[in-house]
Structure 1
Amino acid sequence: MKAHKHNLLAAAIALSLTAPAIAQDDSPALEEVMVTAQKRPQSLRDVPLSVNALGGEKIESAGITNIETMADYIPSFNMTQTGIGTNIAIRGISSGVNQGFEQSAAQFIDGIHYGRAQLSRAPFLDIERVEVLRGPQSIIFGKNSTAGAISITTAKPGDELEGKLSALYEPEHGEQDVRLILSGPISDTVGGRLAILQSSLDGYMENTTLDRDESGDKNRVIRATLQWQPSDLWDITLKMEDGSFDSNGRNIEVVKPVGGSYANALSFFTQGAYQLDTTHDWKRQSNGDYSYNDTENITLNIERELGEHTITSVTGYNAYTYQELCDCDFTGASGFNILSDEDYSQVSQELRIASPEDETISYLGGVFFQSSSLKFHDAVRVPTDSFIATAFSSLLGAQAANLLRGASTQRDFEQDTDLAAIFAQGTWNFTDLSRLIVGARYTQETKEASRHQYHVSNTGVTLPQGTTAQPYNLIWSQFKIDPHAVKGDRDESGFTPLITFQHDFWGTDMVYLSYTTGFKSGGFDVRANAAPNALDGIYPNIEGTWEFEEEKVRNFEAGAKLVLADGAAELNVAAFRSEFKDMQTSQFDGSLSFNVTNAGEAVVQGLEVDGRWAVIDNVMLRGGAAYIDFEYTDFPNSQCYFGQPASERNPTNPTVCDATGKRREFTPEIQGNMGIDYTLNFSNGLKLVNTLDVIYSTEYLTTPSLDPKFEQPSYTKINARIALSGNDDMWELALIGKNLTDESVVTYANGLPVATTVSSGTGYYAFYERPRNIALQGTIRF
């Protein structure tokens, strides 16, 4: 792989920060940030909850291309990719890896719920703003948002004809990104906006088996928006979008093999038994992975002024399909792979009514309906030359090994979900400075699901469930797989109240106290390889999972939003405590399965601070930090890591461990960022904008098994941007650097599948963040 080059950017930073500043007004004021965290346009200073907002300009200038790269700028917010899924976490709470989970940190785009984890990988394009709402959002954004919500608003047509073409090139990892935006009036009452994205990335991790860099990513998005305002009373917006995001390969390296026989095997199959890599000379061995994703979305938003009230209708259709191939032994040898297909679609309808805000009593309420369909299929396949099959020659004999070569075990899962809710939130302004906010949501949800696990012979014949005498059943039972067919249905309802007290000081500052509740619905385990023996199965010693229960949370929060330095600075502070019961988790069984379990109880508490300060007109300081204290207060059935001592195992079931009193993975105690924007305006009309961001995190565990052997050390990353523009910002040329400190950051790790099945040891695979990269970006506006 190429050596990293950063001297050019370092020199440019030094020159820009030492250039003489033009005299500015010494009494700057902050621009007001408007959000819709409560489904109304409001100043961020007036919203009584912990919210971080990033505007479209910051998203573009920082090179934020998706939710994952946005996490650097929002403390206590993280996104990680895993071997078979995606996790979004707010305040350390995420859903885990399973297609059956609703999302604890729910994503909404233009008011439409994007309730599946796979959609969080989609690229950003032409975004007006992103709001991250921390804590349960169970009234306005729906009952499943037990950790928080990510609300994304795309840009709308403007009143003037405009266009923008931007292109980015990063040579080290072969990144190219081209975006075109055209917007303006079509007639006196109709406006249109077209946004197109085409981007690609060669990758930064060398696959020595295939002699290529990975992962090779390609993204494409086409979005058309029409806005019709036939009169001052109507605002009708139709958005249609088609997109794809594809990857060839993964950012995974095998690390920390444990146990003599498996370490030796890894050394043979991977040309070296790797330890935690801090050199960025990342190498992996794989016979090929890919993830191909196609998405489509149609959103119709209708607003009608009715007297002093506003009626809003939001209708949405959202769908995606994907196919993924995981070379899940994570070696260049022929072991096994998993081919997955998923097809999801949903339709939703929301109707809201909102009263004027400036009354003694104001309110917002409505109804919500959503219907969705999920189909999932995967196959664990063993190639004919698999070393796993060879290993079975000594375990079960040559005949069994020959049967395993070319065979597969497969799973079909289907689920239909219908949801209906009614919600309301009212504000009583009982004095000019004080108000009480009360809200509630009642939800009714039904789910019907089925799962079928079956074996396919090496001649392609689908086999019946059979008995223990069936040879394929015996072979696959060594991997903790038990053929079965189960069905189920759930009908659950929930009531989630909210109460908030808010008080203003001096016309600028505000404090609030709130109590909120939330719950995330239960459901059915998509990925378990065995059913509970009470339902089905032929091997009593292989106990799987099927149905899991709802997750509940109570949240207490106190906060303040303060204006300082005569309006030149603001500071937001929030202290919180969240108490979870029956937390839904996904547990790796050490072989090929992820089983869902309700973890018991956990408490998350902490402090969040963020703010900004316009020091002078051309210098802006900003930053934020979060302190998180996470503790499982009752979790006796946690996944064990390899070699975990007997004293930490559950005495009644030594195959699971007691994690009570422990901290969850990906919950660093402190996360923070600090940035400076420094603008130089020259007399010839040119402008130089310099941005520097420092991102910090303390150490954290990276594996769901909480293995202390695999802890990510603390790190400090630096991102920077230098942009020269002219002719009233009609053109811009920018140099963008990310992770300039070249930190080695593991975002997810877990045990290698089947490691303990074929040997006496184990190993881990780890996802690594992108190392230092420097890109050139050009923009033309017309």
Structure 2
Amino acid sequence: MNKMMKSLLPLAIGATLSTQAWSQDFDLILEEVVVTAQKRVERLQDVPISVNAVSGAKMDEAGITNLEGMTAYVPNLTMNQTGIGTIIAIRGISSGINQGFEQSVGQYVDGVYYGRSQLARAPFMDLERVEVLRGPQSILFGKNSIAGAISMVTAKPTEEFEGQVTALYEPSHGEKDVRVVVSGPLTDSLRGRLSVLGRDIDGYYENTTLNRDESAEEEHVIRGQLSWDASDDLSMNLKIESGSFNTQGRFLEPINPIETTGGLPYATALLATTGGAFVLDTDQDFKRQSNGDSSENDTKNATLTIDYALGDHTLTAVTGYNAYNYEEICDCDFTGATIFTADSREDFNQYSQEIRIASPQGETIDYIGGLFYQSSDMTFDDAIRVPATSVLGVLSTSLLGTASQRDFTQDSTLWAGFAQATWNIDTDWRLTVGGRYTSEDKTATRTQHHTNSLGADVGSSDALLNTVFTAFLIEPYSEIKDKRSEAAFTPLVTLQWDATEDMMVYATYTEGFKAGGFDVRSNAHPDPAYGVNIIANPSPLVIIQTSNTYGFAPGVFEYEEEKATSFELGSKMTLADGAAELNVALFHTNYTDLQTSQFDGKLGFNVTNAGEATTQGIELDGRWLVAEGLTLSGSVGMLDFQFDSFPNSQCYFGQTPNSTDYPGLCDLSGKTREFAPEYQGTLSADYNRALGDDMEWRVTGDINFSDSYFTSPTLDPNLEQDAYAKLNLRFAVGSADGDWEVALVGKNLTDEKVATFGNQLPVSTALTSGTGTAYYSFFDRPRSIALQGTMRF
């Protein structure tokens, strides 16, 4: 597979570069791509940023229903669901698993910041385009977008009446998707748009415990927009949206059980406690065992955008409200054995206000500047529960019905001032300088306490609960409370040169900043001297041990800010008299105090500032209108990620601790990180022809490929995904005027089994007294073929 990909890439690049020779006989010009990556409407080829733009039409045709589906078409972008969160990464940089994190990859919808990882799982609907900006976006986007920004632009109300109904059905996994859009004028100055989505899927996993398909998803969204031209100088757009996305089950299964010499296998430990009734299925056949998982999410958002002409300048105000809540139940031992369950709830509210002014374009100096304010509050609580039928009852029946609970609150206030100016030195040279000053305050509290079988709070006074839960690094304590204030100035300098009429070259230096914060999910107390005395285990299952027997780190409450320094050199070229484009970007970014999330080896995750890291590489993307009706396109990202200093990483199972400064931990200095393949990309072809006088047919093919990568933060070799290539095909027949279309949509026709996240099965090392373990992994959807129909009016 590696040899095939490495031979395809130079051929694809060479083909694009040779378009002058191939296209001389055609009077063909590519349609321009327009973006707002710099808060202005600009041609993509004029923007000095490594940016990919995917149109709403492409997303509809490819069946892209959420951000995870976008990753196949944007190099160096990955998104992965985990057991308790979502990870988004650009160029190998992500925030990891913790509800306290705001994402290193900033997500923006119509200019409003969506920084919470849970919102990355929300469904896409009726988008004009999605722009992915790689590298620190510290000036015009700003809010913590230290790895990059994903800007989603919803389709706006139209001057003319139009509507669209799209329906999709996929029988193998029971997927049904219906979308309805109606848009048009309401009065001479008022326009409206209504968009509705309903989607559900049975899933592609078989839960052999509950005898059902998983993960069953159900999504609903309704969005209304009004655009009002109040006067020649004043226009407003109001968007209100409500949605939900719920799931039953998860996309994971146990894999790769291992043990040390003479050790106790995890399956044997489970069998010993279930009377031989339990089977640990690790055959990687899209089967899993679970007593039930669920996630219920509700979202609300409203955005008011006001544009006012002040002479030749434009004053813009963007007011945003964003809220969500969810409830999740996780059978987090990820087996059919009844051991424990975890449930969690989060309620989040955010208000933001941005005011900016932009000068007219084309002057000697163009500029844009403004002020930004945001406040948010979050409450989170979760619990590890021992069900009445748990096998842990062999330790003591008094454990049944008990729980260890956590409560967390956080309030945040941020304000920023920003400005960016471009000096058009002459017709060929431009110099852009910018800066953003950000100040943020956070206050947080966290409490961990136990409850007995009657539901009464016993805090840390129950010796039995202390014994058992502390064995899993869950330490009860009264409220921890703290606050932090921090500020940063992040500059940007970009030099652009129009080397020819068809080639622009740019060089950029910028700095990035991501605020520190408070760890939500750490189970142990942050003070290493804190601890609850535990006793020798009286049961046949030897699972009790002191907290640091295997070198596990103490808990975490506060973590520090993350900083980045980035250099980028790029070029955007128009070739073959406008029939082709090729864009290239070379980048080198150094991160200090990189915020990572480390599994504590039991049930929790600790936030760790990982010293220093460097990410560097090259990104290419291009399009070629070969002939009338035939377009080739492709993009590839090559990445070299390395921890320059990370002496305090958790070790994977069986790894010998080798950290000099942190006894019991492992030093990952000089190593890569998870979700950082050396290359990934896509090659596409789109061909359409007339079919008689009134119809046409069209075929679109994509090859999405990736090199191997680790799926676990510890770089466990048992959790490495091999290189792969997925083939997607779409064949459509429709009317020549676009009023209707019927298509077959095939995804992953090569039926690749691709792991997107993996880790140790919780409690597997504890139940085997550290002599054995097992793993779980999330897997992408296998081959699917759907029927899609569209009607426009």
TM-score by length of 2: 0.92
1:534 shift after superposition:
6.9
Q: Say whether 1:413 aligns with 2:408.
A: yes
Identify unmatched segments of 5+ residues in structure 2: 1-23, 534-545, 549-553
Conservation of the 8 A alpha-carbon contact between 2:193 and 2:224: yes
Give the corresponding residue for 1:437: 432
Equivalent-residue separation in structure 2 for 1:314 and 1:712 (angstroms): 42
Give the corresponding residue for 1:501: 495
Equivalent-residue separation in structure 2 for 1:701 and 1:688 (angstroms): 41
- Secondary structure of 1:657's aligned partner: coil
Q: Say whether 1:111 aligns with 2:119.
A: no
Alpha carbons of 1:703 and 1:389: their partners in 2 closer, same or farther (altered >3 Å)? farther
Equivalent-residue separation in structure 1 for 2:278 and 2:630 (angstroms): 51
Give the corresponding residue for 1:518: 512
> Which amino acid in the other structure matches residue 563 of structure 2?
K
Give the corresponding residue for 2:21: none
Deviations 1:506-538 (A, max 9, x none): 222100000010010000000011222279655
Give the corresponding residue for 1:453: 448
Give the corresponding residue for 2:14: none
Deviations 1:19-71 (A, max 9, x none): xxxxx982211000000000000000010010000011111111111000111
Deviations 1:393-422 (A, max 9, x none): 3xxxxxxx2222111000000000000000
> Which amino acid in the other structure matches residue 206 of structure 2?
E
Q: Say whether 1:158 aligns with 2:151.
A: no
Deviations 1:454-489 (A, max 9, x none): 0011121111334xx733222211111111220000
Q: Say whether 1:257 aligns with 2:250.
A: no
Equivalent-residue separation in structure 2 for 1:374 and 1:574 (angstroms): 38
Conservation of the 8 A alpha-carbon contact between 2:579 and 2:625: yes
Q: Say whether 1:478 aligns with 2:482.
A: no
Give the corresponding residue for 2:696: 687
Alpha carbons of 1:266 and 1:172: their partners in 2 closer, same or farther (altered >3 Å)? farther
Deviations 1:142-181 (A, max 9, x none): 1401110000000001111111111100000000000110
Q: Say whether 1:55 aligns with 2:59.
A: no
> Which amino acid in the other structure matches residue 439 of structure 1?
G
Equivalent-residue separation in structure 2 for 1:269 and 1:77 (angstroms): 43
Give the corresponding residue for 2:92: 92
Which of 697, 702, 715 is the aligned partner of 2:706? 697
Which of 283, 295, 298 is the aligned partner of 2:287? 283
Q: How does 1:66-215 map to 2 (within 5 A)?
A: 66-215=66-215
Give the corresponding residue for 1:740: 749
- Secondary structure of 1:650's aligned partner: coil
Equivalent-residue separation in structure 1 for 2:756 and 2:686 (angstroms): 28
Deviations 1:278-307 (A, max 9, x none): xxx311000000000000000000001110
Which of 620, 630, 634 is the aligned partner of 1:619? 630
Equivalent-residue separation in structure 2 for 1:87 and 1:475 (angstroms): 31
Q: Say whether 1:271 aligns with 2:282.
A: no
> Which amino acid in the other structure matches residue 42 of structure 1?
E
Give the corresponding residue for 2:314: 310
Equivalent-residue separation in structure 2 for 1:232 and 1:439 (angstroms): 31
Identity %: 55
Conservation of the 8 A alpha-carbon contact between 1:590 and 1:752: no
Conservation of the 8 A alpha-carbon contact between 2:564 and 2:592: yes
- Secondary structure of 2:265's aligned partner: helix
Q: Say whether 1:674 aligns with 2:683.
A: yes
- Secondary structure of 2:458's aligned partner: coil
Conservation of the 8 A alpha-carbon contact between 2:270 and 2:337: no
Equivalent-residue separation in structure 2 for 1:349 and 1:510 (angstroms): 35
1:669 shift after superposition:
0.5
Conservation of the 8 A alpha-carbon contact between 1:263 and 1:762: no
Equivalent-residue separation in structure 1 for 2:166 and 2:26 (angstroms): 34
Alpha carbons of 1:381 and 1:311: their partners in 2 closer, same or farther (altered >3 Å)? same
Give the corresponding residue for 1:44: 44
- Secondary structure of 1:709's aligned partner: helix
> Which amino acid in the other structure matches residue 684 of structure 1?
D
Equivalent-residue separation in structure 2 for 1:537 and 1:294 (angstroms): 38
Deviations 1:119-146 (A, max 9, x none): 0000000000000000000111014011
1:233 shift after superposition:
1.2
Which of 643, 661, 670 is the aligned partner of 1:632? 643
Give the corresponding residue for 1:563: 574
Conservation of the 8 A alpha-carbon contact between 1:269 and 1:331: no
- Secondary structure of 2:241's aligned partner: strand
Give the corresponding residue for 2:340: 336
Alpha carbons of 1:144 and 1:621: their partners in 2 closer, same or farther (altered >3 Å)? same
Give the corresponding residue for 2:659: 650
Identify unmatched segments of 5+ residues in structure 1: 1-23, 394-400
- Secondary structure of 2:244's aligned partner: strand
Alpha carbons of 1:345 and 1:777: their partners in 2 closer, same or farther (altered >3 Å)? same
Alpha carbons of 1:272 and 1:472: their partners in 2 closer, same or farther (altered >3 Å)? closer
Conservation of the 8 A alpha-carbon contact between 2:573 and 2:581: yes
Q: How does 1:705-724 map to 2 (within 5 A)?
A: 705-724=714-733
Q: Say whether 1:585 aligns with 2:565.
A: no
Give the corresponding residue for 1:9: none
Alpha carbons of 1:129 and 1:25: their partners in 2 closer, same or farther (altered >3 Å)? farther
Q: Say whether 1:663 aligns with 2:672.
A: yes
Equivalent-residue separation in structure 1 for 2:501 and 2:661 (angstroms): 60
Q: Say whether 1:359 aligns with 2:353.
A: no
How many residues are paired up? 742
> Which amino acid in the other structure matches residue 454 of structure 1?
H
Equivalent-residue separation in structure 2 for 1:537 and 1:129 (angstroms): 52
1:565 shift after superposition:
0.8
Equivalent-residue separation in structure 2 for 1:752 and 1:464 (angstroms): 28
Alpha carbons of 1:128 and 1:518: their partners in 2 closer, same or farther (altered >3 Å)? same
Conservation of the 8 A alpha-carbon contact between 2:344 and 2:382: yes
Conservation of the 8 A alpha-carbon contact between 1:104 and 1:146: yes
> Which amino acid in the other structure matches residue 205 of structure 1?
Y
Give the corresponding residue for 1:404: 399
Give the corresponding residue for 1:604: 615
Deviations 1:758-778 (A, max 9, x none): 113111110010000000011
Give the corresponding residue for 1:20: none
Give the corresponding residue for 1:776: 787
Deviations 1:1-30 (A, max 9, x none): xxxxxxxxxxxxxxxxxxxxxxx9822110
1:261 shift after superposition:
2.5
Deviations 1:233-270 (A, max 9, x none): 12200000000000000011100011143143467665
Equivalent-residue separation in structure 2 for 1:104 and 1:272 (angstroms): 37
Give the corresponding residue for 1:574: 585
1:682 shift after superposition:
2.9
Conservation of the 8 A alpha-carbon contact between 2:503 and 2:572: yes
Give the corresponding residue for 2:776: 765
Equivalent-residue separation in structure 1 for 2:665 and 2:81 (angstroms): 25
1:541 shift after superposition:
5.1
Conservation of the 8 A alpha-carbon contact between 1:254 and 1:763: yes
Conservation of the 8 A alpha-carbon contact between 2:570 and 2:585: yes
Alpha carbons of 1:133 and 1:336: their partners in 2 closer, same or farther (altered >3 Å)? same
Equivalent-residue separation in structure 1 for 2:298 and 2:492 (angstroms): 38
1:656 shift after superposition:
1.4
- Secondary structure of 1:627's aligned partner: strand
Q: Say whether 1:491 aligns with 2:491.
A: no
Which of 313, 320, 324 is the aligned partner of 2:324? 320
Conservation of the 8 A alpha-carbon contact between 2:222 and 2:242: yes
Equivalent-residue separation in structure 1 for 2:269 and 2:739 (angstroms): 59
- Secondary structure of 1:264's aligned partner: helix
1:652 shift after superposition:
4.6
